[in-house]
Structure 1
C-alpha cells in the first residue's frame, strides 16, 4: 500500500464552523488508512500552511475538511497549483456545490426538482416570503453545511430572527420551501450510487446536534423503498452530481413526498466520515468496510 499511494496527508480540522465535525472525520480516516498499511499523516490547515505539503513531499491528499476553506474549492485550487492529487470533486464542482443558491439554479436550469426558495437580506419583506413559500420555511446560510445556522421557521415572527442567526455565518441567506415527506440521503462513489438511507429524526428535526452528537435519530438502510423506485432516485442523484461536475464521491440529500416525488435539497462534496456519518453506513450495506471505503476514496485521488 505504501508503494501504491506514497506519502499521504489527511487534511482535517481547518477553520470553518464545521471544524469539530472535521476533526472527528479526519481522525477516523487517518486510523483507517494507517490500518490499511498506508503511510498517512495528519495535517490541519488551521495550524500549518498548505505549501508545507509540497515541501514535505506528500504524494496524495485525502480531504476530510468540511465547510468553507475545505469543501468550497479553495483547498482544491491550492492542491491543483502544487500538483498534488486529492480526493473528491474539483475546484468548480466544489465551489458550486458549497453554494446552496447556485446549486439550485443549476438544478433548475437542467429541469431537476428542487424546492422553491427566496434569498433573504435586510430589506426583505418577510410577509411576502411567507406568502410565496408558505410555512414552515427552512432558513439557512448559503455557504455552510451540517445544518450550521439553520432554522425551521413555523411562524412569520420567527423569520427575521432566523435570518439574523443565519447571517452571523454568511452574507448570503436562503429561505427554502418546506416539502413534506421522507428524508433521504444518497451517497455516491464514482459512477455508482450506494444504497439510499432514510432518516427519521425526532419531530423531523435533523439538526447539528441530532446529526453528530445524539443517538435518537433513526437511519434505515436499506431504506425500504421498492427497488424500482430506489433505482429511479439513484439515477436522479447521479444526474444531479454530473450537472454540477462532481467526481469521486459525495452525497445528495433529498425529500421524497408521500405521492412519490423526489426533491433535491443539497449536494455534499466532502461528506462526514464520523461514527454517525451516512456514507460509511451506506457503504457497509453495499459490502464496503470503513477501511475499504477510505482506501477506495484515496484510489480516486486526482488532479484536474
Structure 2
C-alpha cells in the first residue's frame, strides 16, 4: 500500500483575518484526512520555521489569509527552507496583495481597473481626493478589510471627520478609487482555467468583510445571471491576470460590472492569491458547479503543488548538470 503524503495545513496567524484562516484550515485538514493524507494542523506563531522543520512535511497547504501568510513573507521563508507549499510564490504574493502594484502591472496589459490614487489619511479631513462616489481601501489588505464607500450623502457632503469610524483611523495611507456602480462579480481560476462567474448580492450595503463571512448576509448567484459575453470577458480577464501575475493553485479575481455600460463597464478590482476555503467561500462553490467536490479540490491543490515542486527540482538538477 502506497502511503499518502504528509501535509501540514498552515492556518491562523496574527492577521485581521485570523478567524477566517482557522476556519479555512480546519475544513481543509478534515477533507485531506478523509482523502487519506497524513495531516498535521499548524496554527502559525512566531516559531513557525522551527515547527515546520520539526514536522518535516512533504508539502504545506497554505491556508493563511492576510499578512504575513499572503504577502510573500511566509512564501519566502519556505523557499529558503526548501519546503514545498501550495498557492502562489513569494513574488506573486507580494505583488498581488499590493493593490497599487497590481494595478501598475495589469493595466498596461489591457486589463481594465478603476482609476485610483494613493492619499494620506490626514488629507481626507480637508478634502475629497476624487469626485464622489469613491472607494477608500487599504493598499495591502484582503477580504475587503477596511473598505469604505464615500457617497454624496456621507457626512452631508462634507469632508471626513477625524472622529468618524473608518479605515482612515487605522491606516496612514489609503487607496482612493472611483466607485463602479452595478454588480459584484467574482471568478475563481485553478490550473489556468476559470471555474465560473458568481454574482454577489449583499443584503445591505456592499460586499465587505462582514458580508463575505456572515451566513445569510450575501446571496451567491452561481453561475451569475449575466450576459454570456460579460461572463466570458470576466473569465478571460481573470485567467489573464492569473497568468501575468504568475499565480499558482487557486486565485480569485473580483470585478465590478456597470450593467448599463456593457462590455466597457467591467473592471477588475483585485486578485486574491489566498482565496478562502470556508463553507461560505467562493472557490469551492464554483468548483462544485463543475462537479468538483470540496475534498477533490483540496487534493487537486496539493497535487499541483507537488508536481510544480518536482518540476522545479528537475529543472535545477538539469541546470546543475549543464554547468558541470
Is 1:265–2:269 an aligned residue pair? yes
Considering only aligned residues, what root-mean-square deviation do their CA atoms show, in Å? 2.2
**2:159, 2:289 → 1: CA distance?**
40
Which of 289, 300, 304 aligns to 1:300? It is 304
Three-state SS of the structure 1 residue aligned to 2:12 is coil
Match of 2:147 in 1: 150
Higher RCO, Cα 8 Å, sep 6+: 1
Instruction: Output one character per residue of 1:32-73: Cα deviation in whole Å (capped at 9) or x when no partner.
Output: 111111111111112642232123221100000000110000
For 1:11, the equivalent position in structure 2 comes to 10
Report what 1:50 is aligned to.
49
- Give the structure-2-normalised TM-score: 0.86
Change (3 A) 1:229 1:184: same
The unaligned stretches of length 5 or more in structure 2 are 313-324
Q: Distance in 2 between matches of 1:158 and 1:88?
A: 41
Counterpart for residue 319 of structure 2: none
Secondary structure of the residue aligned to 1:238 is helix
Checking the alignment, whether the CA contact within 8 Å between 1:151 and 1:162 is kept in structure 2 is no
- For the Cα contact (< 8 Å) 2:6–2:58, is it kept in 1? yes
Work out which of the two has the higher radius of gyration on C-alpha atoms and give 1 or 2. Answer: 2
Question: TM-score normalized by structure 1?
Answer: 0.92
8 Å CA contact 1:163, 1:173 repeated in 2: no
CA contact (8 A) 1:139 1:163 kept: no
Q: In the aligned structure 2, how far is the partner of 1:101 from the partner of 1:37?
A: 42
Deviates more, 1:241-250 or 1:181-190: 241-250
Q: Deviations over 1:76-132 (max 9, x none)?
A: 1111111111111111110010111111111222221001112111553667645xx
* Conservation of the 8 A alpha-carbon contact between 1:198 and 1:221: yes
In the alignment, which residue of structure 1 is the partner of 2:291? 287
The unaligned stretches of length 5 or more in structure 1 are: none
Number of residue pairs matched by the alignment: 301
Compared CA separation, residues 183 and 2, structure 1 to 2 (3 A): farther
C-alpha displacement of 1:275: 1.2
Distance 1:54 1:2 in 2: 24
Matches within 5 A, 1:158-173: 159=160, 161=162, 165-167=166-168, 169-173=170-174
CA displacement at 1:193 relative to structure 2: 0.4
Given the superposition, is the C-alpha separation of residues 56 and 188 from structure 1 closer, same or farther in structure 2, using an over 3 Å criterion?
A: same
